[in-house]
Amino acid sequence: MIRIAIAQVRSSTEKSENLKAALFLTQEARTKGAQVIAFPEFLMAFTPASQTVEELAALAESGDGLFITSLRDAAQTAGISILTTIYESSARPDRVYDTAVWIDDEGGVAAVYRKLHLYDAFGFKESDKFLAGDDIAPLVTNGNARIGMMICYDLRFPEMARMLALAGANVMLAPSGWVQGDLKVEHWQTMIKARALENGCYVIAPNQVGNIYTGHSMAVNPLGRVLTDMGEREGLEIVELDLALVDETRQKLPLLKNRRGDVYARYAATTKES
């Protein structure tokens, strides 16, 4: 069993305000008995469409900047693991990474994941401001939980969730800033349920709320049952994950074992984009 606090927040444009809120929520999560707190994408700041590439790059930090070091100190003090997100500086002055950082309960950085799939869809073009990552992150552990990380738009690519499951993930965390739009809440709910069902694992998706985002942070179990949907309220929700259910589900519905990797491999590198 693992207790995870899902933080649904409305990030402001002020980085210092968002850090202060994150530190407060981290302490609140520990007080409520959580072992992990998971924040959404864009925790560092809301960036309006009018923000320039140069302004975003100036906002970004490295992994040893104030934002991460403050959260590392908080994790160590509270004895809680933190999944946070940052705009990470890159070698290019006109691009940043959209990065998730796993901080363990001793304040160490256990894994860093840079978003693979940039949101160039529905009229947005993240690639104008962001660089894409080039690999999945190693799984992190918390007790019996083996946790894989994705970010937002990654949820629309089942290959990524499957790779994490094949690597041994029984929990997937997907910090998100899911943008509002026609049927977008339905898309969100469907994708999270699908990723959980097809991989027989828990999917936890903390989401931004307010500004241009949908809210509805969710936790879904391996059978597709919704454990929580936070609607449009800010705050914390604690979910308890029974990890034995993952093993039971994968025994009864052995999708990972029943795969035909021998066939898929023949097409993976040759299928043309439409």
- Which residue is it, tokens 């609607």? 231
115 carries an active-site annotation: yes
Among residues 15, 61, 88, 152, which one is catalytic?
152
Taking alpha carbons only, the member of 100, 105, 121, 97 closest to residue 174 is: 100
Taking alpha carbons only, the member of 109, 115, 61, 128 closest to residue 89 is: 61
HSE-up of residue 144 (Cα within 13 Å, Cβ side)? 12
Among residues 41, 61, 88, 237, which one is catalytic?
41
Angle between helices 158-166 and 184-199 (to 10 degrees): 30
152 carries an active-site annotation: yes
- Which residue is it, tokens 């006109």? 94
CA distance 169 to 181: 31
Interior CA angle at 136 toward 214 and 130, to 5°?
55
**174 is written with which tokens?**
């997907």
Among residues 115, 193, 201, 237, which one is catalytic?
115
CA distance 259 to 46: 40
Active-site residue set: 41, 115, 152
